[in-house]
Structure 1
Amino acid sequence: MADHDSDPGAEYPEHPREKHRGPVVLRRGRLVEATTTDQRLLDSRGPTDWVHTDPWRVLRIQAEFVEGFGALAEVPRAVTVFGSARTGREDPEYELGREIGASLADAGFAVITGGGPGSMEAVNRGASDAGGLSIGLGIELPFEQGLNPWVDLGVNFRYFFTRKTMFVKYAQAFLCLPGGFGTLDELFEALTLVQTKKVTKFPVVLFGSEYWGGLYDWIAGTVCADGKINESDLKLLHLTDDIADAVSVVQEAYRGWEATH
């Protein structure tokens, strides 16, 4: 997952313009829709007939969980990687994403991304090219580009909260490349889950000290210093610029997780 308020993949012919509405693919004249399923669920304005339809939405939500669990049940150990959809193929961050995807694959991990363009595509591409399992979890958005061409196993979701569950449930670590609101959303949700012990032995790696350093310093110098988190909570974050170091952190955490399962 990452920033989805642009059209970064439009110029790439192998990345077709399409929109996903759950498992349904829309192209050409049906590409543009005024609202999304998530929006219709969360928006309480307008006619009151939504009161009578919400119970039925529960069945669709249930179906998404069933489809996601079924598709991903046999996934081996994996790392979820987040990053910006706006990263161009000529950007050094794109090549970095490919190297990270390949390194994780070489270490025996599948990679899970939001399945979109930019850094997500780069990680999927690196893992796929290295012979690893490349997974993409897409989401219905007004300007969704569809899953990138290097996704080997893809699942499309209507609801963010269903998708978020899959990001966590089937991964043993999170790795965040430079990204925007979507990346920040997933980052802090992961930290909250680890801090509250909803998930254990789950490292959160920030890759790129120049990009993430200011945020890390603010968390340490303001949030922690003001007593809003404990000093031990800072250890939940690992800031690095070295791919081998990032992979090593993931491997160590996986060995710890494996020992308890």
Structure 2
Amino acid sequence: MKLKKKVKMMIVMSIAVNLLSGCDFGETKIEHERLVKALDEGDMKAVMSASDDGYAYVKERSIYGIFEEKEDGTHSKTIYQTTEGIYNTIEKKLFGETTEEIATNIKNEKEKADISNYKEEEIYHTNIMYEGGEVKTVKTAFDVSAVKLIMDRLQGIKDLKPSEDTKGFDEPNIVSYSLTESQFQQVLNDKLKLEYDEFIGSSIGLHFNAIKDSKKGSMGLLEISIAVSVKKENVLKQQQIFVSFNDKKSNNKIKEDYLNYQRHFNYVGD
């Protein structure tokens, strides 16, 4: 009897260790297919958990870094583009605002603590309209090409095979994809338009609020994350994009925000 109890105890302990260590044992598949299909088809009402009348909040944070090795150190230029607004899934149109900031630096390995070369400035803040893959602003002097709003232009993503689509104990509900160069060209680069000689790598991550639909409600997409690394001659280019969404309960309260953004955009003074 004592031996049987000891064996049972060892089994229980083994299960606990496997769960806590995040091993494959006990991992659960994330049922992402419905929302990935919606992404592929541009069904933004499903993707963005839009309100019944079709409104959804979105925020995009884009970080684009350029790094070049020169005699005096690594020269870098980083463009930070922060965009937020309300998307109308019926009209397929967004009104919102965007801010661009640029940071430059020269980093020398011999003088790591020296930050005298670091400079950061806000380039502009302006209201925008997004429709049909194009971003417009009434201030035509502003270059808004860094605004991607890529969430409704991910055609081809349903054909990708996830590199990870399960979650272990206490892990986030993230489905990830590692892209080949041809997949990167097909799914992403026709929108990002990065020029390069050497493809280093690219990935897409989808963060969900649950592993599956349930009686309590449908699972929703919290964030899309995109990472790209390429080289052009001796210049390294790195792009990161984070697109985050609200839940439906929050989206039910934002129609007035859409109308306010629309009024600001249509006002000539911006």
Query: Relative contact order (alpha carbons < 8 A, sep ≥ 6): 1 or 2 greater?
Result: 2
Question: Counting helix residues as a fraction of each chain, which structure ranks higher?
Answer: 1
Same fold (TM over 0.5): no
Question: Counting strand residues as a fraction of each chain, which structure ranks higher?
Answer: 2
